[in-house]
Amino acid sequence: MKYNHWLAAFMLFCTTLAGCEEGDPTALIEAINAADINVSSIEVEPADGVITTGYSYQFTATGYRPDGSTVNITNSVTWASSNNAIAAVSSGGLVSTIADGSVAISASLASLSASTSLTASSAALQSIAVFADTATPNVLSVSNCKDLQLKAIGTYADGVRDVIPITDNVSWSLISGNGAVNAEGLLSTYSDGTISVQASLDGVDSPVTDVTVTADLNSIAVTPSTQTVTINATLQYTATGTYNDSTTANITGNVQWSSGTPTVADFVNPDSQGLITAVAQGLTTVTAACGAGVTGAASLTVSDNTLDYLRFEDPNGAEIEVFNTTVGAVTQISLYGYFTNGEKIDLTESAQWSLLDGATSVISVNNTTDNKGIVTALAVGHADVRVAYLQQVKVLPVNVTQP
């Protein structure tokens, strides 16, 4: 009965759409998408922007639901340009300008639509200014071992273009300081102090801009705090920083990683970002440091035992050969390694978790540090969890039913 009521409601909704009642497959698909997303209006951004002819910019579509919440529907809408000779738009909202002029960029979903104007201009670039891409753009300050997204604003012969920044078009340079800035203007800090950056485009350089990095980091927690792995295994560590205002942040990519005994386990790649490789039997201390001031540590044991087999187990230590669960359930699955000398080691955090054949609509499985092996049932169906440790692979069949 529930199915029939839903179908009747959907067909009533469908009849309001041109072509749907006549069997137009495109209109039918759009109707299904709109009903599933449940939005009552659409907004297209950026609004009324100017972009240099020959460049591209990613537009987004936001759907507003009746309860006031929003959802990104950029990849669900149908995009269009009022004049493809001036600017063309891809199915994913990427707008590429071709010639000078103004166009309307629109997004539609079933009976809903929205549009914004875009101007393509060949006016010459005169200057560049660097700001923080935050609610307070003039405040160029960030806590140590955190990231700060920068943005570049261009002033052209026809005016300042602050609606559509040129952040992704400029070349970013780190002039001085302990940090790094990537091609998208994301500034990563590694200690407190001052970092100087510069943005350049078409022979025009911004002034050298200083970013103040404050010493607000209070402590670092390294996880897993205690772990045993076998020779040649890798283990991903996570560094979580706690700041003076009691907030926390994942600073894994900002700290400097080191091993107290590199002959036992070491960070082989200088840019490893917490990924350590076990080399020989023994014990080592793993350290994460933000500059010279704040550190966190963990203990790592490397065993020379030979892995015999892998086994999935529940919290009581019972083997799980097939996992049966219900929609909405969240369950921790543990992976244990059994070794030829009789030793049993929890390998949940050392293994790599994924879904076989990408059945992401049925379940999800977590592969992030401290949360590995957490399975969330999303919909009725079957999926397979794949776990890899060294050269061994173990697959767990998962069946999901209604509660």
The domain spanning residue 321 has which CATH number?
2.60.40.1080
* pLDDT digits 0-9 by tens, 144-167: 999 999 999 999 999 999 999 999
Residues 339 and 376 occupy one common structural domain: yes
Tell which of 251, 276, 303 closes a domain: 303
Confidence class for position 391, pLDDT limits 50, 70, 90: confident
Residues 11 and 53 occupy one common structural domain: yes
DSSP class of 26: H
Q: How many CB atoms lie within 10 A of CB 342?
A: 8
User: Any idea what the CATH number is for the domain that residue 269 is in?
Assistant: 2.60.40.10
Tell which of 194, 214, 234 closes a domain: 214
How much is the pLDDT for 291?
Answer: 87
* pLDDT digits 0-9 by tens, 279-320: 999 999 999 999 888 999 999 999 988 889 999 998 888 999
Q: Which residues have C-beta within 8 Å of that of residue 264, sequence separation ≥ 6?
A: 278, 279, 280, 281, 282, 283, 284, 300, 302
Residues 240 and 268 occupy one common structural domain: yes
Map residue 7 onto helix, strand or coil. Answer: helix
Q: State what percent of residues in the chain have pLDDT above 70.
A: 90
Residues 145 and 112 occupy one common structural domain: no
Residues 360 and 337 occupy one common structural domain: yes
Q: How many CB atoms lie within 10 A of CB 354?
A: 13
Residues 296 and 252 occupy one common structural domain: yes
Average pLDDT, the chain: 90
Question: Structural domain tally of the chain?
Answer: 4
Q: State what percent of residues in the chain have pLDDT above 90.
A: 77
Residues 253 and 237 occupy one common structural domain: yes
Residues 275 and 335 occupy one common structural domain: no
Q: What distance in Å separates the CA atoms of residue 42 and residue 147, rounded to the nearest whole number?
A: 31
Residues 311 and 319 sit within 8 Å (Cβ to Cβ):
yes
Residues 184 and 247 occupy one common structural domain: no
Tell which of 181, 214, 247 closes a domain: 214
Residues 292 and 313 occupy one common structural domain: no
Residues 94 and 161 occupy one common structural domain: no
Which residue, chain included where needed, has tokens 């990095």?
Answer: 213
- Report yes or no on whether pTM surpasses 0.85: no
Residues 319 and 381 occupy one common structural domain: yes
Give the structural domain span for 201: 125-214
